[in-house]
A and B are shown apart, each in its own frame.
Chain A
Amino acid sequence: MGKEILQLRNIHKSFPGVKALQGVDFTLREGEIHALMGENGAGKSTLIKVLTGVYTKDEGTITMDGKEAVIKSPQDAQNVGISTVYQEITLCPNLSVAENMYIGRSNNIMQNWKKMNEGADAILQSLDIPAKATQQLASCSIAVQQMVAIARAVDMDCKVLILDEPTSSLDEQEVEKLFKLMRDLKSRGVGIIFVTHFLEQVYEVCDMITVLRDGKLVGEYKIADLPRVQLVSKMLGKDFDDMAEIKSENKVFESNSKTPVIEVEGLYSDAGIKPFDFKVDKGEVTGFTGLLGSGRSECVRAIFGADRVLGGSVKKNGETVKIKKPIDAMKAGIGYIPEDRKVDGIVGDLSVRDNIILALQVMKGFFKPFTKAQANAFADEYIKLLGIKTASADTPIKQLSGGNQQKCIVARWLLTHPEYLILDEPTRGIDVGTKVDIQKLVLKLASEGMGITFISSETDEMLRTCSRLVVMRDRKVVGELKGDDLTQNKIMSTIAGGDGNENK
């Protein structure tokens, strides 16, 4: 094992109301590919940003090559030899490859173009990157653009290279090429920090894993010492070995009809999911589970027509319905509470009332607006029913707390009286009280005969509400669990998958 080049010790960083990092340690050695893992909000990106100078740390020390490094800006980070390649490519697509590699690095007014192009070609060749210096960057594939960004970083004499989700927009072959480049750099002694959501890739290319959870360090492990299942349990914060079984509180629902309310066959969309089959009975709560980015949201978005559906069929109560856009799904009696409340859910400047009636109003039609009295009656009814805390129905929804905003969105869809309701992460970022309210509501609606799909990052919550779970990994359905299989252990081992790596 090489010598340590980068040491982070006892890093603290807080934002108003949030302790994003609490005493995190991290060590990177020469010629090592080190995976930084954790679910959303674990503190991965905060740590990366502290390291690259986007944020300044509150406490702690960063040591490069045995000397304490002061990193207050991205410029500082580059000067000490830390380079970052982000998920979104931050190069200029309209410039040439060489220009992209050298832009902003020279203080001379004059530029020796010939020398620059020759230099760029030499680096590209040595790294085996299939691009020419004079080629326009936009004409390269995304993977090659990614590699050019890496080449730029390498040429800046970096000792530490941070790759933040570099593979999320690449296909398998492109990922292979990228890995080859990473191994090449590794053999030159560059230390690489690799952030990704794809478990398979971690096990393919990395040497070490550091796991963060809730802003705290969980531990640093050698890849051989940490089977997938354990990695997943460490990320989710459940100790696999002595995990308490949580008894399902689900009631048994009586369904009077054999036909499922929704039956999906071979459905897939342009969001990159593999075709999947799925069905929900009346009064059944089902769930999609899997790590972030596994494709669970994309599946339900395809059912609702939120992404462009490329193939497959949806049957409602046994009859095929054509769903091309959300309004089709709404007319078929499907409701969808989206994952990202701020971006896809609320209409920020509109009042609570308008937000609540929006979906029903759209279904009713352009020429049939509700009267003020009707709209007020609807809003008041659901404000009371769901206990939405708002100054009045006229208050712009963006002034409400997250939990109350979410309740408004729930109200919006309950108002349409759907037969099938999809809730994608309805409890993310809201207070515990509201969480329980929403879980109870889901069970109540199901007991009244509504078919429900519930998605949550918290396995506990899924176990409490769902009677059947579809497990996804890498944008594929990899299993279905019900009855006695509904346990934390079983879910995790299914999520982790991987042959011969079950548990030691």
Chain B
Amino acid sequence: MKTSKKSFTAIFRNQIFIPIAALLLLVIVNLIVDPSFFKITYQLNSDGQHILYGNLIQILDFGSELAILAIGMTFVTAASGGQDISVGAAIAIAGSVILRVLCGNNTRPEAGQLQTTFLVAFLVACVVAALFGAFNGLLVSVFKIQPMVATLILFTAGRSIAAWINNNELPIISDQSFKYFGGYIPNVPVPTPAILAVVVIIVTFLLLKFTNLGLYIQAVGINEKSSRLNGLNPTAIKFLSFVLLGLCVAVAGLIKVSRLSTINYSVIAKDIEMDAILAVALGGNALGGGKFNMTASILGAYVIQFLTITLYSMKVQSDALPAYKAVVVILLVVFSAPTVRNWMSKTWKNLTAKNTAKEVA
């Protein structure tokens, strides 16, 4: 009895409790409203390919970019104590670079007319996105500018830069294999974005396990002064976190342009930065930096996508969606606030204490 009570309060205070609770809540609501929400079928798609189909698959599919960005955003948040609001614009740039490298000056290349391989285009996008991340990182770490203010520059200019890269034209790639990254690889029934997300997640966890990235970032985020006196270079570590986010942006950019086979500079990945920040917050990570829990952030990203798909399946109009989402976000954020959680664990304690008292009586 005693141990179970203790573990219950521990659960309330555990960081990962909020995203898991939110996920459970969404599952329960969907079970009540329409259990068929969870149905997964194996069927033919329009390309004549057998694929897995269902809301859960959609969540994994369309939550991928967000999950990938949440990883980078978690690093930036933990190390610098601030957020990067330019990731949406940076995705536009990365996507634009991929198209430009693939198409060259011909905006309507037929299959086989591509200038280079997808891999080269992606690597170039990685370099460019990392450079833009480095620009943000430079402003934040060397010039000590507030991360949100520093990244506001790219937030404002990014989409224009993206358009400029392709001379303001909208290249369309008709090569079907380009669609693999945002769609399905032949004979693989799982959406590729989900696979890419898993790959990025695995790489991240390997990085956290086999390097000191996690320790260094947390130490710098918690106490920069003492980190320096322990031989760390806080400037370099903050800078690195922005570069890592840049790499995440490149992957997300690849998925985004592959989904459409083209780009729309003003709409692509619009407002995704806010969702990425929300994912970090939903994971219970302090937006003021310091300790972080990567699993919780990733889970947070999928919770957001889960919510979106749930609202869609309830036939909420797409232009009314943000309003509904906002209501849910308010609830989630309030419940994840430490004061509320402490209050909840206290109330729970009192409640169980009363119950046991009654039992004894």
A interface residues, Cβ below 8 angstroms from B: 304, 306, 325-327, 330, 336, 338, 343-350, 354, 358-359, 361-363, 365-369, 412
Known contacts A369-B210, A369-B212; is A349 also within 8 Å of B228 by CB? no
Task: Determine whether the beta carbon of A363 is less than 8 Å from that of B222.
Answer: no
Which residues of chain B from 178 to 230 have a CB within 8 Å of any chain A CB?
209-213, 215-216, 218-219, 222-223, 225-230
**A338 neighbours in B (Cβ, 8 Å):** 226, 229
Question: Out of A304, A344, A361, A366, which one reaches B226, CB within 8 Å?
Answer: A344
Chain B CB within 10 A, most for which of A306, A347, A367: A347
Q: Which residue of A lies closest to B221 (CB)?
A: A349
Task: Determine whether the beta carbon of B231 is less than 8 Å from that of A354.
Answer: no
Task: Determine whether the beta carbon of A349 is less than 8 Å from that of B222.
Answer: yes
**B228 neighbours in A (Cβ, 8 Å):** 306, 325-326
Task: List 10 A-B pairs, Cβ < 8 Å.
Answer: A306-B229, A325-B228, A326-B228, A343-B226, A344-B225, A344-B226, A344-B229, A347-B219, A347-B223, A369-B215
Kindly provide the distance from the CB of A358 to the nearest chain B CB, expressed in whole angstroms: 5
Task: Determine whether the beta carbon of B226 is less than 8 Å from that of A347.
Answer: yes
**A349 neighbours in B (Cβ, 8 Å):** 218, 222, 290-291
Cα distance, A336 to B228, chains bound together (Å): 12
**B226 neighbours in A (Cβ, 8 Å):** 338, 343-347
Task: Determine whether the beta carbon of B229 is less than 8 Å from that of A362.
Answer: no
Known contacts A343-B225, A359-B231, A362-B232; is A350 also within 8 Å of B211 by CB? no
Cα distance, A368 to B219, chains bound together (Å): 17
Cα distance, A348 to B216, chains bound together (Å): 14
Chain A CB within 10 A, most for which of B213, B215, B219, B227: B215
Chain A CB within 10 A, most for which of B222, B226, B230, B233: B230
Cα distance, A359 to B229, chains bound together (Å): 9
Kindly provide the distance from the CB of A340 to the nearest chain B CB, expressed in whole angstroms: 9
Chain B interface residue number, banded: 20 to 34
> Other CB < 8 Å A-B pairs besides A326-B229, A344-B226, A350-B219, 5 of them?
A327-B232, A344-B229, A349-B290, A354-B215, A362-B216
Q: Which residue of A lies closest to B240 (CB)?
A: A366
Task: Determine whether the beta carbon of B231 is less than 8 Å from that of A326.
Answer: yes
Kindly provide the distance from the CB of A338 to the nearest chain B CB, expressed in whole angstroms: 6
Question: Out of B211, B215, B223, B233, which one reaches A346, CB within 8 Å?
Answer: B223
Q: Which residue of A lies closest to B220 (CB)?
A: A347
Known contacts A344-B225, A367-B210, A369-B212; is A350 also within 8 Å of B291 by CB? yes
**A345 neighbours in B (Cβ, 8 Å):** 226, 229
Task: Determine whether the beta carbon of A366 is less than 8 Å from that of B216.
Answer: yes
Query: Closest 7 interchain pairs by CB?
Result: A327-B231, A362-B231, A347-B223, A349-B222, A359-B230, A330-B231, A349-B291
**B232 neighbours in A (Cβ, 8 Å):** 327, 362
Task: Determine whether the beta carbon of B215 is less than 8 Å from that of A361.
Answer: yes
Cα distance, A362 to B212, chains bound together (Å): 8
Cα distance, A336 to B226, chains bound together (Å): 11
Question: Out of B222, B223, B230, B290, which one reaches A362, CB within 8 Å?
Answer: B230
**B211 neighbours in A (Cβ, 8 Å):** 366-367, 369
Question: Out of B210, B213, B219, B291, which one reaches A358, CB within 8 Å?
Answer: B219
Task: Determine whether the beta carbon of B231 is less than 8 Å from that of A363.
Answer: yes
Q: Which residue of B lies closest to A372 (CB)?
A: B209
Cα distance, A336 to B231, chains bound together (Å): 11
**A369 neighbours in B (Cβ, 8 Å):** 209-212, 215
Kindly provide the distance from the CB of B286 to the nearest chain A CB, expressed in whole angstroms: 9
Task: Determine whether the beta carbon of A347 is less than 8 Å from that of B227.
Answer: yes
Kindly provide the distance from the CB of A95 to the nearest chain B CB, expressed in whole angstroms: 23
Kindly provide the distance from the CB of A331 to the nearest chain B CB, expressed in whole angstroms: 8
Task: Determine whether the beta carbon of B290 is less than 8 Å from that of A358.
Answer: no
**B215 neighbours in A (Cβ, 8 Å):** 350, 354, 358, 361, 369
Kindly provide the distance from the CB of B283 to the nearest chain A CB, expressed in whole angstroms: 16
Kindly provide the distance from the CB of A103 to the nearest chain B CB, expressed in whole angstroms: 26
Kindly provide the distance from the CB of B203 to the nearest chain A CB, expressed in whole angstroms: 15
Kindly provide the distance from the CB of A254 to the nearest chain B CB, expressed in whole angstroms: 32
Which residues of chain B from 250 to 285 have a CB within 8 Å of any chain A CB?
none
Kindly provide the distance from the CB of A307 to the nearest chain B CB, expressed in whole angstroms: 11
Cα distance, A358 to B156, chains bound together (Å): 40
Kindly provide the distance from the CB of B2 to the nearest chain A CB, expressed in whole angstroms: 18
Kindly provide the distance from the CB of A257 to the nearest chain B CB, expressed in whole angstroms: 27
Task: Determine whether the beta carbon of A336 is less than 8 Å from that of B229.
Answer: yes
Cα distance, A358 to B227, chains bound together (Å): 9
**B223 neighbours in A (Cβ, 8 Å):** 343, 346-348
Cα distance, A369 to B219, chains bound together (Å): 14
Cα distance, A25 to B56, chains bound together (Å): 75
**B219 neighbours in A (Cβ, 8 Å):** 347, 350, 354, 358
Cα distance, A145 to B227, chains bound together (Å): 34
**A358 neighbours in B (Cβ, 8 Å):** 215, 219, 230
**B218 neighbours in A (Cβ, 8 Å):** 347, 349-350
Cα distance, A122 to B229, chains bound together (Å): 50
Kindly provide the distance from the CB of A56 to the nearest chain B CB, expressed in whole angstroms: 28
Task: Determine whether the beta carbon of B229 is less than 8 Å from that of A366.
Answer: no
Kindly provide the distance from the CB of A144 to the nearest chain B CB, expressed in whole angstroms: 27
Cα distance, A325 to B232, chains bound together (Å): 9
Cα distance, A343 to B222, chains bound together (Å): 10
**A325 neighbours in B (Cβ, 8 Å):** 228, 231, 233
Known contacts A361-B215, A367-B211, A369-B210; is A348 also within 8 Å of B229 by CB? no
Known contacts A343-B225, A349-B222; is A361 also within 8 Å of B291 by CB? no
Known contacts A349-B291, A350-B219; is A326 also within 8 Å of B212 by CB? no
**B231 neighbours in A (Cβ, 8 Å):** 325-327, 330, 359, 362-363
**B227 neighbours in A (Cβ, 8 Å):** 347
Kindly provide the distance from the CB of B226 to the nearest chain A CB, expressed in whole angstroms: 5
Known contacts A348-B222, A349-B218, A349-B290; is A366 also within 8 Å of B212 by CB? yes
Kindly provide the distance from the CB of B237 to the nearest chain A CB, expressed in whole angstroms: 10
Kindly provide the distance from the CB of B223 to the nearest chain A CB, expressed in whole angstroms: 5
Cα distance, A492 to B53, chains bound together (Å): 84
Kindly provide the distance from the CB of A336 to the nearest chain B CB, expressed in whole angstroms: 7
**B216 neighbours in A (Cβ, 8 Å):** 362, 366
Kindly provide the distance from the CB of B310 to the nearest chain A CB, expressed in whole angstroms: 34
Q: Which residue of A lies closest to B213 (CB)?
A: A366
Q: Which residue of A lies closest to B209 (CB)?
A: A369
